[in-house]
Amino acid sequence: MNVTQPLALTGALAAVTLIAGCAPAEASAEGDTITIGTLRSQPHLFSPYFYEDVAADGLEFEIVLFDTSSDIKNAIVSGSIDFGVTGAASVISGVAEEQDVRVVASAADGGTRIVASPDIETADDLKGKKVGFPMGATQEILLKRTLEAEGIDPAADVELVNLPFADMAGAYESGQIDAFISAETGPSIAIVGGAHELLSAYDTPIGKTNIVLATSNSLIESDPELVQDVVDTHVAAIEEMSADTEAWADGLEKEFALDPEVTQTAIDNTWARWELDDAYVATLEAMGAEMFAFDQIASEIDPSLLVDTTFVDAASAS
């Protein structure tokens, strides 16, 4: 197999965790362990932890943890890792910059919520309130489009507070903000603490689309059999975690010491998937169009360079 050799990881790649619940995976005799990036503590990016349970004999995976989806995409582009379960927006950003990265499967829908304190019962109640959001992320688009649909001007009717994902729940708990939009697990932490989901974040043309499996086009061209093996493994992993959400929750709690109630609340807001049907690709294109409209990317993307359905099509036919 033409895959990367075991990595000498530094900087953002320094935190390396291998398959959850198992002894650290060893590279094969030829040193051809397949590296896959993901984020820590995220229910919607947990599928790689199921890979070893379902992989065909001879496939070895090493999970590499990153701080952001952009870090994962950059590692794919640089060749530091082979695959990544990452935010679709990061791949769109890469394609807009003509980088060597492609979506080869979906991985999870959802994982985002708009939550508010109990006294905020309607969208109108948000007027004059402080609303946390992550500037430059897809959640910025989802929040502003959702508020606009409710007749609220995001620039005039609310006070938007730019915060990192990791700080959102803490800012809500301390009273710095009254409501926020964020990726999990921040919203579930707030809900368990007494907040409630105020509005759906999924009613824009982007829908629930969020997380994908990506690799480089270079690897697709040089070793399509390996890409098919990994996509087949990903499909089996997604189907296993979807059928056994208790194992999904147990894995998250064991790997990252998460609170069980927070974990289950977050999983209830996540839909594992692997398909790349026309409707899903349309939501990716809608995300790209919105990112361009919000100046998150400098140019419109060529959809033909974003997605390669070859491998999920083959998995569907098998």
> How many C-beta neighbours within 10 Å does residue 194 have?
10
> How many C-beta neighbours within 10 Å does residue 246 have?
9
pTM: 0.88
Which CATH superfamily is 112-199 part of? Periplasmic binding protein-like II (3.40.190.10)
Name which of 213, 227, 224 is nearest 34 in CA terms: 227
Q: What is the C-alpha to C-alpha distance for residues 215 and 154, in angstroms, rounded to an integer?
A: 36
pLDDT tens digits, residue range 17-75? Answer: 333 333 333 333 344 899 999 999 899 999 999 999 999 999 999 999 999 999 999 99
* Residues 35-110+209-316, CATH architecture: 3-Layer(aba) Sandwich (3.40)
pLDDT tens digits, residue range 283-299? Answer: 999 999 999 999 999 99
Question: Can you give the residue ranges of every domain in the chain?
Answer: 35-110+209-316, 112-199
Q: What is the C-alpha to C-alpha distance for residues 22 and 104, in angstroms, rounded to an integer?
A: 27
pLDDT tens digits, residue range 157-199? Answer: 999 999 999 999 999 999 999 999 999 999 999 999 999 999 9
Q: What is the C-alpha to C-alpha distance for residues 250 and 230, in angstroms, rounded to an integer?
A: 24
Q: What per-residue confidence (pLDDT) applies to 20?
A: 33
Q: What per-residue confidence (pLDDT) applies to 285?
A: 97
pLDDT tens digits, residue range 258-316? Answer: 999 999 999 999 999 999 999 999 999 999 999 999 999 999 999 899 999 999 999 99
At 250, list the tokens. 């147990």
Domains 35-110+209-316 and 112-199 share a fold: yes
